[in-house]
Amino acid sequence: MKQKRRFKLALSYVLLVLIALVCIYPALWIILSSFKVGDSLYSETLIPRQLTLEHYMDLFRSQSDKDLPYLKWYWNTLKIAVTSMVLGTLLQVLTAYAMSRFRFKGRQTMMSVILILGMFPGFMSMIAVYIILLQMNLLNSPWALVLVYTSGAALGMFVAKGFFDTIPRALEESALLDGASHSQIFRLIILPLSTPIMTYIAITTFTAAWVDFIFARLILRSRENWTLAVGLYELVSSYSSTEFTLFAAGSVLVALPITLLYMFLQRFLVHGLTAGATKG
Amino acid sequence: MNRAITNPNRAAGMGNAGIAALLSVLVMGLGQMYNRQWMKGIIFLLAELVSLYLIVTSLAYNLWGLVTLGEQSAHMEKIGRLYRNVPGDHSIFMMIYGLVALLYIGLLVCFYIANIKDAYRIGKRRERGEKVNNFRATWRLLGNQGFPYVLLTLPAIGVLVFTILPIIFMILMAFTNYSAPDHIPPKSLVDWVGLRTFTNLVTLEAWSHTFVGVFTWTIIWAVVATVTTYFGGILVALLIEQQGIKFKGFWRTLFILPYAIPQFISLLVMRNLLNYQFGPVNQYLRMMGLGGVPWLNDPFWAKVTVIMVNMWIGIPVSMILVLGVLTAIPRDLYEAAEVDGATGFQKFRNITMPFVLFQTAPILIMQFAGNINNFNVIFLLTNGLPANGDYAYAGSTDLLVTWLYKLTLDNQRYNFASAIGIIIFIIIAAFSLYNYRRSRSFKEEDMIQ
């Protein structure tokens, strides 16, 4: 019996290690590739014989043969992602709060509408958005992108609403009795309680803006206005076979901040994911 | 303006409420003024004047444009001695403007009705001899009872302009002939064609063949992708939570890694990793004496590959969810089972599995719907390739969504793309509706309190 148990444990450990390898391998491979000498995809060994920082330097040097304003792209992306995060989180939290805490006319209708809108593929409306932005003279502007990301933020409110639903209503009722206004209640009671869900929403909106290339490619027309996602996608389709290591370095720099953020803020992400799942 | 007004002769014919309502029907704001709510009345009146001005100057024309979609295409016209190219009506812009006009008028009608109701309500209050709010009091009331509306105004405008309007536009497009090569403004006009796009999709050989093929693969993909990630997640979670496994936190953190790396990057990396000629995976296979596998180049293998890569990406999320559920299973259930002599497998089958399934069933359906729309995995990994000669503008691994994307951006077949979009919506709506009706949290929303 004991032996059988030990065998089972050993098998489990073997499986765990195997899964771990599968999880890590692609990340490890791309990181090592980014330090590899030369520019080809093919490598004889996993760990390159010679390491170099050249590809990282290449990203930040202006080169005559390619047009890769990587630093500019990084800055554009950061600007867009941070602004969308702040505005998007604000809108989403406010919407969720209103839907969770108040019973007003049209509430059920609004919730149903939000649900239905979420069922359309997000980019199906691309052409219309394009024309609207064209008419507003906003094409090729990073702010147009922020506008598009932010205006859709309210639609993702169900996770936050589920969270607000769990905050006991007695808290506000007593505050109301003490003469607090609605905005005071929101600022002084609800906001401090909802840091976990705010963090979750902030990370996810930030990431969404950081990695989106569908709308970014549609809206940002000129090369120097691009974001990292658009630039990298372009890099892959035009250079990946010939400049693989450059792509590797570029991807590592794009992925690193997000990955670190996710790993460090895991707790909040797990919280948000599970909250969103059970509350629907 | 803030005097309390009472009405002594209530019996004389129509009461205050009726008169106020009637006046408001005539002109917006008039009833409010009759009720001595001057400020409110003036604002309403201004709203009506501005709307009338807009309707006369542009909205009426825009509505006409929505109905006709333009009558004059770009053409040559003799001006003086020379023929010049004269721009015609741009049907698509006309459609959007028409939609905006329609939305505006719709909102105006709602506002008008609210205005009549408001006049009636305040009038009733006067009949009862109650005090009528002055403007400042109304304003304060708005800040208090209307607080949710204040919160929701900005998000609502954003959603209206950048989500609802585009979606309606998209739906309308399916009923036009807006498509390359013959009906692309500004060169030529677009017309309403009713359901012809849909019938073409089903009856025209090239389209129906593609549609059936892509549709079938979309469903197969959604089912397999959902099932593999879901049960994969359960297995990994159970593996970690087993008795006797050490460093549970370490394993969990490690396995979250694929979720933490931006999907966009990991997919592009995978694409290179699985490169047939130079990719390391095939390199190792060849070193072991096995031939390389055409991961992304063969129609069948490409399908297997996208599902496997999707497992890599999706299992961590399911794992996190299942881990959350597992910790919530009451320990005494297991203890009782052990006392009764249940084997490990029996405990799993009769306690763990029902518990997990029950808790996560709604997610399962949500993930299924998400997978039907899973644009990233297909687009970034295979881009729909390998090519399929029998398909119209689609490759072997294309899903309905990626097909839609290609039809829109690469081929300008907007009407077909919209029709497909509507079909995707119907599929997803059906599943979500089913899910929604079952989910307790919706029905018993207020019971959590």
Q: Under an 8 A CB cutoff, do B162 and A255 touch?
A: no
Residues of B with Cβ-Cβ distance to A255 under 8 angstroms: 261-262, 265-266
Q: Is residue A246 part of a domain?
A: yes
Last residue of a domain, one of A28, A60, A92: A60
**CA pair distance A234, A68, nearest whole angstrom:** 10
Clarify whether residues A11 and A124 are in a common domain. no
Query: Residues for chain B: how many in total?
Result: 449
Whether residue A83 is predicted with pLDDT greater than 90 in this model: the reply is yes
Sequence-separated (6 or more) residues with CB below 8 Å from residue B197: B174, B175, B176, B177, B415, B416, B418, B419
**H or E segment to which residue B35 belongs:** none
Among B13-27, B89-103, B227-241, top mean pLDDT goes to B227-241
Q: Is residue A231 part of a domain?
A: yes
Please compute the mean of the pLDDT values over residues B354-379 and round it to a whole number. 81
**H or E segment to which residue B146 belongs:** none
Clarify whether residues A266 and A204 are in a common domain. yes
Residue labelled with tokens 């693969």: B217
Tokens of A227: 């974001």
Clarify whether residues A198 and A257 are in a common domain. yes
Q: Under an 8 A CB cutoff, do A41 and B279 touch?
A: yes
A126 interfaces chain B, CB cutoff of 8 Å: yes
**CA pair distance B118, B128, nearest whole angstrom:** 15
Q: Which of A278, A117, A103, A176 is nearest to B356 (CA)?
A: A278
Clarify whether residues A206 and A231 are in a common domain. yes
Residues of A with Cβ-Cβ distance to B425 under 8 angstroms: 119-121
Residues of A with Cβ-Cβ distance to B264 under 8 angstroms: 211, 213, 229, 232-233
Q: Which of A14-23, A43-52, B313-322 has the lowest mean pLDDT?
A: A43-52
Find the domain containing A184 and state its range: 70-279
**At what angle are helices B414-438 and B205-241 packed, to 10 degrees?**
40
Sequence-separated (6 or more) residues with CB below 8 Å from residue B78: B84
* Nearest-5° Cα angle at A35, A34 to A37: 105
Tokens of A170: 């007695």
Q: How confident is the model at residue A276 (pLDDT cuts 50, 70, 90)?
A: low
- Chain A residues 152-191 with CB within 8 Å of chain B: 152-155, 162, 165-166, 168-169, 181-183
As a whole number of Å, the end-to-end CA separation of chain A is 44
Q: Which of B170, B236, B257, B378 is nearest to A24 (CA)?
A: B257
Residues of A with Cβ-Cβ distance to B261 under 8 angstroms: 27, 255, 258-259
**A234, exposed or middle or buried, with CB in 10 Å at 0-12, 13-18, 19+?**
middle
* Nearest-5° Cα angle at B5, B2 to B6: 165
Please compute the mean of the pLDDT values over residues A258-266 and round it to a whole number. 84
How much of chain A, in percent, has pLDDT values that exceed 70? 91
Please compute the mean of the pLDDT values over residues B312-321 and round it to a whole number. 88
CATH assignment at residue A75:
1.10.3720.10
Sign, Cα dihedral of A76, A79, A83, A84: positive
3-state helix, strand, coil in chain B (%, to 5): 70, 5, 25
Whether residue A2 is predicted with pLDDT greater than 80 in this model: the reply is no
Residue labelled with tokens 């204040």: B150
* Cα of A61 to nearest chain B Cα, Å: 22
Q: What is the DSSP letter of B315?
A: H
Whether residue B59 is predicted with pLDDT greater than 80 in this model: the reply is yes
Tokens of B120: 């009636």
Q: Under an 8 A CB cutoff, do A262 and B260 touch?
A: yes
Q: Is residue A247 part of a domain?
A: yes
Residues of A with Cβ-Cβ distance to B159 under 8 angstroms: 114, 117, 151-152, 154-155
Q: Which of A212, A218, A70 is nearest to A139 (CA)?
A: A218
**CA pair distance B417, B403, nearest whole angstrom:** 8
| Total domain count, chain A | 2
Sequence-separated (6 or more) residues with CB below 8 Å from residue B423: B215, B400
Q: How confident is the model at residue B4 (pLDDT cuts 50, 70, 90)?
A: very low
Please compute the mean of the pLDDT values over residues B225-236 and round it to a whole number. 90
How much of chain B, in percent, has pLDDT values that exceed 90? 5
Among A79-88, A173-182, B9-18, top mean pLDDT goes to A79-88
Q: Under an 8 A CB cutoff, do B264 and A229 touch?
A: yes
Q: Is residue A261 part of a domain?
A: yes
Q: In angstroms, what CA-CA distances link B173 with B104, B163, B185?
A: 20, 15, 13
Whether residue B446 is predicted with pLDDT greater than 60 in this model: the reply is no
**CA pair distance B410, B204, nearest whole angstrom:** 21
Nearest-CB residue to A121 (from B258, B263, B373): B373
Q: What is the rounded average pLDDT for all residues in chain A?
A: 82
For position B2, what pLDDT does the model report?
44
**At what angle are helices B353-372 and A266-279 packed, to 10 degrees?**
90
Q: Is residue A65 part of a domain?
A: no
**At what angle are helices B263-273 and A244-264 packed, to 10 degrees?**
140
Say which residue, B87 or A214, is predicted with more confidence. A214
Q: Is residue A12 part of a domain?
A: yes
| DSSP-assigned beta bridge partners for residue B82 | B79
Clarify whether residues A16 and A93 are in a common domain. no
Query: Residues for chain A: how many in total?
Result: 280
Clarify whether residues A55 and A176 are in a common domain. no
For position A89, what pLDDT does the model report?
92
Residues of B with Cβ-Cβ distance to A13 under 8 angstroms: 245
Please compute the mean of the pLDDT values over residues A168-189 and round it to a whole number. 84
Please compute the mean of the pLDDT values over residues B126-137 and round it to a whole number. 78
**CA pair distance B21, B376, nearest whole angstrom:** 55
Q: Is residue A33 part of a domain?
A: yes
Clarify whether residues A38 and A127 are in a common domain. no
Interface pTM (ipTM) of the complex?
Answer: 0.83
Clarify whether residues A43 and A159 are in a common domain. no
Q: What is the 3-state secondary structure (H, E, C) of chain A?
A: CHHHHHHHHHHHHHHHHHHHHHHHHHHHHHHHHHCECCCCCCCCCCCCCCECCHHHHHHHCCCCCCCCCHHHHHHHHHHHHHHHHHHHHHHHHHHHHHHHHCCCCCHHHHHHHHHHHCCCCHHHHHHHHHHHHHHCCCCCCHHHHHHHHHHCHHHHCHHHHHHHHCCCCHHHHHHHHCCCCHHHHHHHHHHHHCHHHHHHHHHHHHHHHHHCCHHHHHHCCCHHHCCHHHHHHHHHHHHCCCCHHHHHHHHHHHHHHHHHHHHHCHHHHHHHHHHHHHHC
Clarify whether residues A86 and A178 are in a common domain. yes
Clarify whether residues A253 and A122 are in a common domain. yes
Strands B75-79 and B82-86, by their bridges, are antiparallel
Sequence-separated (6 or more) residues with CB below 8 Å from residue A137: none
* Cα of A78 to nearest chain B Cα, Å: 15
Last residue of a domain, one of A42, A60, A78: A60
Clarify whether residues A18 and A77 are in a common domain. no
Clarify whether residues A96 and A172 are in a common domain. yes
* All structural domains of chain B: 16-194 (no CATH), 197-448 (1.10.3720.10)
Q: Which of A68, A86, A111, A88 is nearest to A246 (CA)?
A: A68
CB pairs under 8 A between A and B: 254
| DSSP-assigned beta bridge partners for residue A36 | A51
Q: Which of B1-5, B62-66, B394-398 has the lowest mean pLDDT?
A: B1-5
Whether residue B444 is predicted with pLDDT greater than 70 in this model: the reply is no
Q: How confident is the model at residue B11 (pLDDT cuts 50, 70, 90)?
A: very low
Q: Is residue A258 part of a domain?
A: yes
Whether residue B81 is predicted with pLDDT greater than 50 in this model: the reply is yes
pLDDT in tens, B159-210: 888 888 888 888 888 888 887 777 777 777 777 888 888 888 888 888 888 8
- At residue B85, the 3 state secondary structure works out as strand
Query: What is the pTM for the complete model shown?
Result: 0.81
Residue labelled with tokens 């900005």: B154
Q: Under an 8 A CB cutoff, do A132 and B425 touch?
A: no
Please compute the mean of the pLDDT values over residues A159-169 and round it to a whole number. 83
A234 interfaces chain B, CB cutoff of 8 Å: no
For position B438, what pLDDT does the model report?
67
Phi, psi of B79 (to 5 degrees): -115, 115
Q: Which long-range contacts (CB under 8 A, 24 or more apart) does A42-47 make?
A: A42/B277, A42/B278, A42/B283, A43/B280, A46/B280
For position B8, what pLDDT does the model report?
46
Q: Under an 8 A CB cutoff, do A23 and B257 touch?
A: yes
Say which residue, B215 or B282, is predicted with more confidence. B215
Sequence-separated (6 or more) residues with CB below 8 Å from residue B383: B395, B402
Say which residue, B303 or A121, is predicted with more confidence. B303
Last residue of a domain, one of A19, A40, A60: A60
Q: Which of B147, B315, B368, B398 to mutate to test the interface with A (most CBs of A within 10 A)?
A: B147
